Amino acid sequence: MNMQTNIETKLKTAFNPVYLDVANESHMHSGPATESHFKVTLVSPKFESLPLIKQHRLVNEALKAELNGQIHALALHTYTPDQWAERAGKAPDSPPCEGGGKSEH
């Protein structure tokens, strides 16, 4: 199972999300084969009444093994269903890579 599918499976199990998108953004950084940079947009009722930091801690705990392994960067966008509706179902775009691992041509 590839890393993206593994992340999706773990988050579906842990959060029973209303909406989940796991994007492999490694191609924007060191290369697509690395499976090292991911953007997660997760909408779940489990986030109701929790501050953002606690939402992110729950996700980090669910992905603990992956974060201790090959994942270098994980962008988290977590929302309650009401917050997601207020955003009209749109997560922020990722910024371009400015790190040193991507070769410049």
The full set of domains in the chain, from first to last, is: 3-75 (3.30.300.90)
Give the per-residue pLDDT at 97. 61
* 16-56 residue pLDDT tens: 999 999 998 776 656 555 777 789 999 999 999 999 999 99
Q: Could you give the C-alpha distances from 16 to 8, 9, 40, 46, 62, in angstroms and in order?
A: 11, 10, 14, 8, 12
Tokens standing for 41? 């947009």
Q: Who contacts 23 (Cβ-Cβ below 8 Å, separation ≥6)?
A: 38, 39, 40, 41, 94
Give the per-residue pLDDT at 14. 98
Burial environment of residue 104 by CB neighbours within 10 A (0 to 12, 13 to 18, 19 or more): exposed
Identify residue 2 by its one-letter amino acid code: N
